[in-house]
Amino acid sequence: MESTSTAKSRKLVTLDEYIIQAQNKFPGATGELSQLLRDIGLAAKIISREVNKAGITNLLGVDGSTNVHGESVKRLDLFADQQLISALDRSMITCMVISEENDGIVRLNSEGGKYIVYMDPLDGSSNIDVNVSIGSIFSIYMRQPRFDKKLVEDDALQPGIRQVAAGYVLYGSSTIMVYTTGLGVSSFTLDPSIGEFILSEDDFKIPECGNIYSINEGSYNSWADGLKKYIKYCQVEDEETNRPYTARYIGSMVADLHRTLIKGGIFIYPASTRYPNGKLRLMYECNPLSFIIEQAGGMAIDGKKRIMEKQPTSIHQRIPIYIGSPDNVKKVKELLDQHENKESV
């Protein structure tokens, strides 16, 4: 029998090593995007540390203020926002940041920086005080070539197809960072014993079809008829299509999307009578997660069209989203289209 000492072990690859290896594949790469991703990785480690001990460092609970969306701001929201902005400012690569926690654009010290970063510093804030998984989301764009003028909000209003990188960090039973630069999706798990993100999955692929649907069914009566029809479709027993599907809804988009990426299925946050334009934000929630899901082979639509092709009109714009395995998204779109056509007749 072969002893464990002679058994081959898988070589561990850190996030920094992986980013450098990827950069080396492109002759002439300046390394600025690589540095930007490493900066975000460092901020994620600091946020993860504080999330894990928030109950004993007085970081739980609300700050007492509200953000631009009228939502109560948690202490951890502000801490995560500050850490990410500080990390992005240090390397002088990023010219501006747009965050869920700030009303307008945040100009950094380097107005000549090449990149614009959107971020949701702590997605799923309502879950913070009950110890349920939360996350950070980021989306990176190149600044448009207009260096002779002062930075303005319009510089940041670019469609999702122009993203050069996007990712999220999930703070759960383990801390996981998932990102894409348009060449597939990679996942890294934080090893707290050495303080490094270690490659856990390269080239993620979402299943073509999944048997999990994720939606807040408490709002059922306020949905369009086509979506109601799809939920009933998910609940009807049919062995050929592996139905009924299982309902799973965490209330943190990062956590719900991470499960969808691994197991397949669909995540939906639709338009409703209360939120006629949807509730989730296009630029720092829907676009980056759509980029990741598409790179993994999935789909993301607003009910009609591809999310990433939408031209934004404001930095905090809201939008409905249907995202996940391609077969699931195609089916819900089919039913949405059928009922829209009936209503227009």
Residue list for the binding site for Mg(2+): 100, 120, 122-123, 285
How many C-beta neighbours within 10 Å does residue 72 have?
14
Dist CA 58 CA 63 (whole Å): 11
3-state SS track over 30-79? CCHHHHHHHHHHHHHHHHHHHHHCHHHCCCCCEEEEECCCCCEEEHHHHH
Bond preceding residue 244 cis, omega within 30 of 0:
yes
The binding site for substrate comprises 123-126, 216, 249, 279
Dist CA 125 CA 295 (whole Å): 27
The binding site comprises 100, 120, 122-126, 216, 249, 279, 285
Give the burial string for 11-38 (b: 16+ CB within 10 Å, else e). Answer: eebbbeebbeebbeeeeeeeebbbbbbb
Report CA torsion sign: 317, 321, 325, 327.
negative
Residue with tokens 């759960």: 172
Closest CA to 77 of 136, 117, 139, 37: 136
